[in-house]
Amino acid sequence: MSKMQINITVNGKKQELLAEPRELLIHVLRERLGVTGPHVGCDTSHCGACTVDMDGKSVKACTVFAAQANGADITTIEGLGGPDGLHVLQQMFKEHHGLQCGFCTPGMITRAYRLLQEIPNPSEEEVRFGMAGNLCRCTGYQNIVKAILAAAAELNAAKEAAQ
């Protein structure tokens, strides 16, 4: 099948590549670009392990064709922290034991990142509802919720301090 040119920005870096239109974004990221943070956990759009941030939305990269993503700006877990250290969410997941096997973690944190953009000061209930597109088989979510709430508090405190 013929390939098409795909131009996407991934974690701030412009990427040009040739791909079949049917290739799934998750495979483009993982296999062509070596961005292996997001994972595949289900194939049927239910687990959220593949979650990335695309044009300001949390999306399941297993349910987006490469062709649809052409032109998109994508942030993955790899784009959240910097060379100088972890993003607050990453720190808080570590601090509050919000992960065990780590397989869901990139998708979780990437989703939580967007959630906190939209609801900077969420209640526990809002976190549980807002994270319901991401499955975890290890943690029972309790510490994930705790980590996200802690990250929200930290980010808000930092914002206040900055003002």
Partner 1 sequence: MNEMTPPKTERAAALKGLGSARKRVEDARFTQGKGNYVDDLKMPGMLFGDFVRSPYAHARIKSINADKAKAIPGVVAVLTADDLRPLNLHWMPTLAGDKQMVLADGKVLFQGQEVAFVVAEDRYVAADAVELVEVDYEELPVVVDPFKAQASDAPVLREDLEGNMEGAHGPRRHHNHIFTWEQGDKDATEAVVGSADVVAEEMVYYHRTHPCPLETCGCVASMDKVNGKLTVWGTFQAPHAVRTVASLISGIAEHNIRIISPDIGGGFGNKVGVYPGYICSIVASIVTGVPVKWVEDRMENLMATAFARDYWMQGKIAATKDGRITGLWCHVTADHGAFDACADPTKFPAGFFNICTGSYDIPTAYLAVDGVYTNKAPGGVAYRCSFRVTEAAYFIERMIEILALKLDMDPAELRAKNFIRKEQFPYQSALGWEYDSGDYQTAWDKALKAVDYEGLRREQAERVDAFKRGETRKLIGIGLTHFTEIVGAGPVKNCDILGLGMFDSCEIRIHPTGSAIARLGTISQGQGHATTFAQILASEIGIPADDITVEEGDTDTAPYGLGTYGSRSTPVAGAATAMAGRKIRAKAQMIAAYLLEVHDDDVEWDVDRFVVKGAPQRFKTMKEIAFASYNQAIPGVEPGLEAVSYYDPPNMTYPFGAYVCVMEVDVDTGEADIRKFYALDDCGTRINPMIIEGQVHGGLTEALAIAMGQEIAYDELGNVKTGTLMDFFVPTSWETPYYTTDHTVTPSPHHPIGAKGVGESPNVGGVPAFSNAVHDAFRTFGLTHTHMPHDHWRIWKIAHDLGLHG
Partner 2 sequence: MIPGSFEYHRPDSVASALEILAEYGDEARAIAGGHSLIPMMKLRMADVGHLVDLQAIADLKGITVQGDTIIIGAMTTQQELISSAELASAAPILREASLQIADPQVRYVGTIGGNVANGDPGNDLPGLMQCLDAQYTLAGRDGTREVAARDFYEAAYFTAREDDEILVSIKFRATTGGYAYEKQKRKIGDYATAAAAVLIAKDGATCSFASIAMTNLSDTPVWCEAAADALVGSSLDQAAIDAAVAAMLETIDPQEDNRGPVEFKNHVAGVILRRAIERAASRA
Write out the residues near ligand FAD by the rule CB under 6 A.
45-46
In sequence order, what E strands does the chain have?
4-10, 13-19, 51-54, 57-60, 73-75
Q: How far is the CB of 94 from ligand FAD (least distance, A)?
A: 29
Binding partner at 146 among ligand FAD, ligand FES, partner 1, none, C-beta below 5 to 8 Å by kind:
none
Footprint of partner 2 on 72-111 (CB under 8 A): 111
Q: With binding defined as CB under 6 A, does residue 131 bind ligand FES?
A: no
Residue ranges that bind partner 1, judged by CB under 8 A: 20, 22-23, 27, 30-31, 34-44, 46-47, 49, 76-78, 81, 86, 90-91, 93-95, 97, 99-106, 109, 127-129, 131-145
Q: Does 128 bind ligand FES (CB under 6 A)?
A: no
> Is residue 152 within the footprint of ligand FES (CB under 6 A)?
no
Over the range 112-149, which residues count as b (16 or more CB within 10 Å of their CB) and which as e?
bbbbbeeeeebeeebbeebbebbbbeebebebbbbbbb
Q: How far is the CB of 43 from partner 2 (least distance, A)?
A: 4
Asked whether 122 and 152 are in contact (CB, 8 A), the reply is yes
Compute CA distances 143 → 70, 81, 89, 161, 162, whole Å. 36, 20, 12, 26, 28
In the structure encoding, which two tokens stand for residue 38, read together? 């997001």
**How far apart are the C-alpha atoms of 157 and 37, rounded to whole Å?**
29
Measured from the CB atom, the residue of 86 and 119 that comes closer to partner 2 is: 119
Binding site for partner 2 (CB under 8 A): 1-2, 4, 20-22, 24, 43-46, 48, 51, 57-60, 63-65, 67-68, 70, 111, 115, 129-133
